[in-house]
């Protein structure tokens, strides 16, 4: 797949899966997509291992944009990127954007073959100033 991949990381598996459903509705199979959320007991939370697997699943040579919800999702995603390491790490960007709108807009941009930089910029336009 040449298009940028999208990863959705929420504390809630329902939010993550639901967001992924909305992305699929927009872009079908044009964009590599993966989601993760929840702790090992089935409660709310985020896990580094699950995020690493999701990035792997949505991997594209064009890179991956990660959409996160609250603080722990961001910190765990940063840790996951660091543990994945180079050469992949520099092609993974954690977006500063609302998770649902960011994922849908980023994926729509990605489906047109946009670069990682363009995909991330589209998501960042949604961030509160």
Partner 1 sequence: MMEARTRIDLSALITAVADTIAAHADELTALDQAIGDGDHGLNMKRGFEAVRAEAASLAEKPLPDAIKAIGTKLVMTVGGASGPLFGTLFMALGKEISPEPSRADFAAALGKANDAVAARGKSQIGQKTMLDVLYPVHAAVAAGKSLREIEAAADEAAEATKPMKAIRGRASFLGERSIGHVDAGARSTALIVRAITETLEPA
Catalytic residues: 11
Q: C-alpha dihedral over 67, 103, 124, 119, to 10 degrees?
A: 100
- The nearer residue to partner 1, 83 or 89, going by C-beta atoms, is 83
Q: How far is the CB of 100 from partner 1 (least distance, A)?
A: 19
- The nearer residue to partner 1, 1 or 44, going by C-beta atoms, is 44
Q: What distance lies between CA 15 and its chain's CA centroid?
A: 13
Q: How far is the CB of 45 from partner 1 (least distance, A)?
A: 4
Q: What distance lies between CA 37 and its chain's CA centroid?
A: 11
Orientation angle between helical segments 13-27 and 99-111, nearest 10 degrees: 30
- The nearer residue to partner 1, 3 or 46, going by C-beta atoms, is 46
Binding site for partner 1 (CB under 8 A): 11, 39-41, 43-49, 70-72, 75-76, 78-79, 83
């Amino acid at each position: 797949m040449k298009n940028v991949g999208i990863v959705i990381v929420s504390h809630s598996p329902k939010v993550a899966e639901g967001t992924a459903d909305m992305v699929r509705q927009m872009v079908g199979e044009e964009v590599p997509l993966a989601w993760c959320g929840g702790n090992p007991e089935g409660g709310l939370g985020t896990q580094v291992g699950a995020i690493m697997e999701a990035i792997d699943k949505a991997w594209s040579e064009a890179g991956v944009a990660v959409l996160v919800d609250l603080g722990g999702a961001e910190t765990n995603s940063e840790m996951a990127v660091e543990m994945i390491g180079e050469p992949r790490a520099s092609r993974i960007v954690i977006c500063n954007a609302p998770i649902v709108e960011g994922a849908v807009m980023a994926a729509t941009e990605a489906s047109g073959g946009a670069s990682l930089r363009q995909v991330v910029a589209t998501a960042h336009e949604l961030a509160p100033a």
